[in-house]
Amino acid sequence: MFIIVNNERIEIKFDPYIYVNVWGPEHFYYVEVREYVKDNPESKFVEGFHFNRNANVVKDYNFYFFGEFYGDYEISIFKFVKNVGLQKIHSHRYNDCGQLVQFNLVTDNIEDAKIWTKSIDEYQKKHGCIVKVNSKFEEINNQYSTEIQSPYKTYNIGRFHKTVNDFKSVGETRKYGNLWFGNWKVFWSYQHPRNWKELSAKEISDDILGLS
Amino acid sequence: MSSIYSFFAGSHSATSSLIIDGEIKYVIEEERLSRIKAGDKYESFPNLSSSKIVELSGLQIKDADYRIMVEPVPDLYADELTNGKYERVSHHDSHCYGSYFTSGMDGKVMTISYDGGGDKSVMKIYLCENGKMTLLKSLDYSTFGSLSHLWGFSTTGILGVGEDGASIWKICKDEGKLMGMAADGYYDENIINMLKSVIKYKDLKFSPSTTGERTKFLMDSLRLQGAFDTKEQREVFSYNLQHYTNKMFVEFLTDLNKLYPEYRKFAFSGGLFANVKLNQKINELDFVDEIFVYPPMGDEGLPLGACIKKAVELGEITKPIKLKNVFFGIEYTNEEVDNISKDYDFNKSLYVPEEIASDIDNGGIIGWFQDRFEHGPRALGARSILVKPTEIGTHRVLNERLKRYEIMPFAPIVMEEYFDEIFYPSKSKYSSEFMTICYSTRESWINKIPAVIQKSDKTARPQIVVKNKNKKFWEILNAYYKISGIPVLLNTSFNSHNEPIIDSPQQAFDTLKKGIIDKLIIGDYVYYRK
């Protein structure tokens, strides 16, 4: 999804995770990801990223944010204007209404898959999106066929084990070294909001799709 | 009656503390022993300080009645340190309990902590009375902006990074340099507008909650446009940063006062309140009767606050106390000092205050090493360097010897009896025993003590010295007063620039050997080069 705002060309994608890029005449752009949480009108800061295209400090051209589970994210892009400071040049809030949303059911168990489709149906009703499902079970996949190819967002639904990189997440401080001082969320990897081992199949999919 | 260990680990300002039966036994910052300043090491652990307290107290950590880790907690390290037996205490509760229960304040007290973040909060506000604390607000990191981050990332951004890729000035370490420069700047509406794009205040809320990242972006952009190339540019930016900070926080406190007008005493903690110029503005407000700034206001003060919280829960501390001092570190006996001195070839004589006062009056730079070292960022009469306050030229000599930046002002110590004659307003004097607030200097004294007065705004950050709390420190002041008619000395911390305040006699003797100081007073003796 490219957007042209004045002299800036902005690309924002949510599939499979948040991706932002900005091209324009400035050396610097700042991207901020915030999240709206249920029953709270205030958005919470999630991540900030600095595009730096200074010829002498060439680094980081793209911003990836591995928020693969559902989040009501708002992405804002700022540039610096002399005597004004940070000026917002574009803002986009997650909105998959009328868009294709793809769900990959990661399970060999058809009972799990059936339960998860209930959450998918709830998600579709809530968001007004077009749904496509990929699973090992044709009878489930066929219920959600569509000709549209390019998804706005893809969700993987399953039970995902922690990896060695999965330390920066909600409520997780079990670490020897340097600490994070309380960000709302810092998803650097595939993290369940709650420990899936203690949840039912429905609770797992509801967590992933923000229906809890 | 209980023994309580507490630790802060895994971040800057690692510290260990021990309270036994409600009495503060030891508080030691790791930097004093590791000799690496807290701001220079962001991932630090209280290994040396915890071992030292065990050695000095004879109480093993496992044998204490309680072991407390202050949030955020690095679990694996905490398990190792405590054999897995510990309690967690909230970061901002530790700040708040520390400040309220050492404030000595009776009646209604509003206690506020504010920093860059800890256990998902940037601020907590407690309403306190008669030793009871009631939480009014806890403001979370992800929705509430942080003035501490505004300062921290302005500090790192103003000079950019050095050849090693690290910022030249560091967060949690060099903010005072901007505060020092601020007095020499002037108002610039454009800078204020740019700061407003980073953080604003309205209706008891600082927002948005991305102060650090936004400040970084603003500072990088400004710096690469050449906005900090000159000393004057940096001074002007710093002035407006201080001005805007003061304005927002005063508005915030004024709004709180409208809701709770019966609260006219305030206890503060958290890194923001290391800003003595902000503290001055607060202290000058009409609705403020008294403020108290927790002497170890930054995260180094967390373990003591956590110990105090536990002692309060156990009923071993029941009401706010007044600290006699913050000398909670390591002490060295005369015998130990004497033994160490044998490694050096110095002259030694008995300390006579009048003789040293005369040396000071003649321009001598005197190292002062007494008692246990201080807890917190200020040298308060245990590890100090004393110089006469009457000549501005002292700055150059001290800066050269200590390798300090010219922009960092020096602070005075003043005899309690003469404070009101020299400084105003006459408020919050207990807090100023710990050098936590700036005051205005009376016109008649500005030219008498120029070395300890900020040249531009005529303010100073005095430490009030009380005779019955630190007799020896008071006596040297008194001896100098008898010679000069000036009840004030310049007191700077006993360390070279970028080093933590010294701990041991060896470090003091080394300083004498290098010629940084002219004479060294340790205990009852004076040491000087042959």
Per-residue confidence (pLDDT) for residue B407, from 0 to 100:
67
Tell whether the model's pLDDT for residue A176 goes beyond 50: no
For residue A167, give both structure tokens.
């330390």
Query: Is residue B94 very low, low, confident or very high in pLDDT (cuts 50, 70, 90)?
Result: very high
Tell whether the model's pLDDT for residue B112 goes beyond 50: yes
Compute the C-alpha angle A152/A157/A160, nearest 5°.
125
Average pLDDT in the B306-323 region?
97
For B53, the enclosing helix (H) or strand (E) is helix B47-57
CA B159, CA B524: separation in Å to the nearest integer? 44
Identify the residue with better confidence: B271 or A186: B271
Per-residue confidence (pLDDT) for residue A54, from 0 to 100:
64
Tell whether the model's pLDDT for residue B54 goes beyond 50: yes
Could you tell me which CATH class the domain B334-529 is placed in?
alpha beta
Q: Is A51 on the interface with B (CB under 8 A)?
A: no
- Are residues A84 and A151 located together in one domain of the fold? no
For residue B240, give both structure tokens.
């407006």
SS3 of B423-445: the string is: EECCCCHHHHCCCCCCEEECHHH
Tell whether the model's pLDDT for residue A177 goes beyond 70: no
Around Cβ B102, how many Cβ atoms within 10 Å? 27
Picking from A93, A110, A142, the residue at the C-terminal end of a domain is A93
Average pLDDT in the A171-176 region?
44
Identify the residue with better confidence: B374 or B38: B374
Q: Is A9 on the interface with B (CB under 8 A)?
A: no
For B217-245, how does the pLDDT look when each residue is reduced to its tens digit (9 = 90+)? 999 999 989 999 999 999 999 999 999 99
Per-residue confidence (pLDDT) for residue A162, from 0 to 100:
61
Picking from A63, A93, A123, the residue at the C-terminal end of a domain is A93
Average pLDDT in the A71-100 region?
95
Average pLDDT in the B244-254 region?
98
Of B10, B72, B194, the CB nearest to A83: B194
A211 burial class (0-12, 13-18, 19+ CB within 10 angstroms)? middle
Per-residue confidence (pLDDT) for residue A183, from 0 to 100:
43
- Cβ-defined contact of B213 to A181 (cutoff 8 Å): no
For B227, the enclosing helix (H) or strand (E) is none
Average pLDDT in the B197-212 region?
93
Delimiting residues of CATH 3.90.870.20 domain(s) in chain B: 334-529
- Cβ-defined contact of B140 to A182 (cutoff 8 Å): yes
CB B489 within 8 A of CB B216: no
Per-residue confidence (pLDDT) for residue A188, from 0 to 100:
37
Average pLDDT in the A136-159 region?
90
- Are residues A107 and A202 located together in one domain of the fold? yes
What's the half-sphere exposure (Cβ side, CA atoms, 13 Å) at B97? Answer: 21
| Whole-number percent of chain B with pLDDT over 90 | 85
Of A54, A177, A183, the CB nearest to B74: A177
For B159-179, how does the pLDDT look when each residue is reduced to its tens digit (9 = 90+)? 998 888 888 999 888 999 999
Interface of B with A (CB under 8 A): 10-11, 42-43, 72-77, 116-121, 140-143, 190, 193-198, 208-210, 212-214, 216-218, 220-222, 224-225
- Are residues A133 and A198 located together in one domain of the fold? yes
Say which range, A25-39, B116-130, B392-406, B466-480, has the weakest mean pLDDT: B392-406
- Are residues A88 and A140 located together in one domain of the fold? no
For B296-312, how does the pLDDT look when each residue is reduced to its tens digit (9 = 90+)? 999 999 999 999 999 99
- Cβ-defined contact of A44 to B220 (cutoff 8 Å): no
For B120-173, how does the pLDDT look when each residue is reduced to its tens digit (9 = 90+)? 789 999 999 999 999 999 998 888 999 999 999 999 999 998 888 888 999 888
Average pLDDT in the A101-108 region?
95
Per-residue confidence (pLDDT) for residue B114, from 0 to 100:
97
Q: How far is CA B348 from the centre of its chain?
A: 33
CA B500, CA B520: separation in Å to the nearest integer? 18
Tell whether the model's pLDDT for residue A4 goes beyond 90: no
Per-residue confidence (pLDDT) for residue B424, from 0 to 100:
96
CA distance A160 to chain B (A): 23
* Distance set, CA A176 to CA A163, B35, B44, B45 (Å): 16, 22, 10, 10
Identify the residue with better confidence: A71 or B473: B473
- Are residues A24 and A124 located together in one domain of the fold? no
CA B460, CA B445: separation in Å to the nearest integer? 11
Average pLDDT in the A149-175 region?
66
Tell whether the model's pLDDT for residue A57 goes beyond 70: no
CA B74, CA B59: separation in Å to the nearest integer? 23
Q: How many helices, marked H, and strands, marked E, lie in chain B?
A: 19, 23
* Distance set, CA A204 to CA A4, A104, A123, A193 (Å): 38, 14, 14, 9
Selected residue of A181, A183, A186, A187 to mutate for chain B interface (largest B Cβ count, 10 A): A181
Query: Is residue B429 very low, low, confident or very high in pLDDT (cuts 50, 70, 90)?
Result: very high
CB A93 within 8 A of CB A74: yes
Q: Is A83 on the interface with B (CB under 8 A)?
A: yes
Q: Sheet containing A8-13: which strands, arranged edge to edge?
A: A2-5, A8-13, A18-23, A63-65
Cβ contacts below 8 Å, chain A against chain B, sum to 116
What value does the mean pLDDT of chain B take?
94
Selected residue of B113, B150, B221 to mutate for chain A interface (largest A Cβ count, 10 A): B221
State which residues form the domain around A138: 100-208
- Are residues A26 and A76 located together in one domain of the fold? yes
CB B442 within 8 A of CB B424: yes
State residue B172 phi and psi, 5-degree precision. Answer: 65, 15
b/e A70-90 (16+ beta carbons within 10 angstroms → b): bbebbbbbbbbeeeebbeebb
- Are residues A45 and A129 located together in one domain of the fold? no
Q: What are the beta bridge partners of residue B383? A: B369
Per-residue confidence (pLDDT) for residue B385, from 0 to 100:
96
Per-residue confidence (pLDDT) for residue B406, from 0 to 100:
67
Delimiting residues of CATH 3.30.420.40 domain(s) in chain B: 3-92+301-313, 103-293
For A87, the enclosing helix (H) or strand (E) is strand A85-93
Per-residue confidence (pLDDT) for residue B479, from 0 to 100:
98
For residue A176, give both structure tokens.
């020897």
CA distance A74 to chain B (A): 14
Per-residue confidence (pLDDT) for residue A18, from 0 to 100:
87
- Residue corresponding to tokens 């701990």: B503
Per-residue confidence (pLDDT) for residue A40, from 0 to 100:
83
Per-residue confidence (pLDDT) for residue B66, from 0 to 100:
98
Extended strands (E) in B471-513: 488-493
For B396-418, how does the pLDDT look when each residue is reduced to its tens digit (9 = 90+)? 888 888 887 766 779 999 999 99
Per-residue confidence (pLDDT) for residue A179, from 0 to 100:
45
Q: Looking at the 3D structure of chain A, how many domains does it have? A: 2
Say which range, A47-61, A163-177, B110-124, has the weakest mean pLDDT: A163-177
Query: Is residue A180 very low, low, confident or very high in pLDDT (cuts 50, 70, 90)?
Result: very low
- Model ipTM? 0.88
Identify the residue with better confidence: B140 or B431: B431
For residue A110, give both structure tokens.
């058809």
CA B20, CA A34: separation in Å to the nearest integer? 46
- Are residues A27 and A56 located together in one domain of the fold? yes
CB B273 within 8 A of CB B114: yes
The CATH superfamily label for domain B103-293 reads: ATPase, nucleotide binding domain (3.30.420.40)
Query: Is residue B257 very low, low, confident or very high in pLDDT (cuts 50, 70, 90)?
Result: very high
Q: Is A168 on the interface with B (CB under 8 A)?
A: no
For the domain covering B3-92+301-313, report its CATH number: 3.30.420.40
Nearest residue of B to residue A30 by CA position?
B217
Per-residue confidence (pLDDT) for residue B242, from 0 to 100:
98
- Cβ-defined contact of A177 to B10 (cutoff 8 Å): yes
- Are residues A153 and A171 located together in one domain of the fold? yes
Tell whether the model's pLDDT for residue A55 goes beyond 60: no
Of B76, B196, B217, the CB nearest to A30: B217
CA B467, CA A126: separation in Å to the nearest integer? 72
Which DSSP symbol is given to B372? S
Picking from A60, A93, A126, the residue at the C-terminal end of a domain is A93
Per-residue confidence (pLDDT) for residue B347, from 0 to 100:
95
CA distance A168 to chain B (A): 12
Say which range, A61-65, A130-134, B139-143, B161-165, has the weakest mean pLDDT: A61-65
State residue B440 phi and psi, 5-degree precision. Answer: -80, 150
Query: Is residue B209 very low, low, confident or very high in pLDDT (cuts 50, 70, 90)?
Result: confident
